[in-house]
Amino acid sequence: MALWRRSGKSIAEVARELGVNDMSLGLWIKKSDEVSPVSEQDQADRVEAARLRKRIKELEEEVEILKRFTAYWVKDSGR
């Protein structure tokens, strides 16, 4: 459970990496949370990690657009 919490990844991603069913991992996490609830800091860290992953994806898409534009511009200016 700690692996999933620290990773900032979805349950499905961690389950795939571990080679277990995501439903099983989800149930294990739920049972673990019943014994020791997730701290506010852990929850805040997960939310921040998800926000940062989303921002990284956006930036990667922007870089790809700029690469395509640059290639087009170089090709077009060579005429």
d(CA 14, CA 63): 28
Of all residues in the chain, the percent with pLDDT exceeding 90 is: 33
How many whole angstroms separate alpha carbon 52 and alpha carbon 8? 10
Higher pLDDT, 45 or 68: 68
Q: Phi and psi for 8 in degrees, rounded to 5? A: 75, 10
pLDDT at 71: 92
- Asked whether the CA dihedral 48, 50, 52, 58 is positive or negative, the reply is negative
The pLDDT mean for the chain works out to 86
What average pLDDT score do residues 37-44 get? Answer: 77
Structure tokens at 11: 């349950």
Averaged pLDDT, 7-25: 88
- For the chain, the domains span 2-77
pLDDT value at residue 59? 97
Mean pLDDT of 14-32: 88
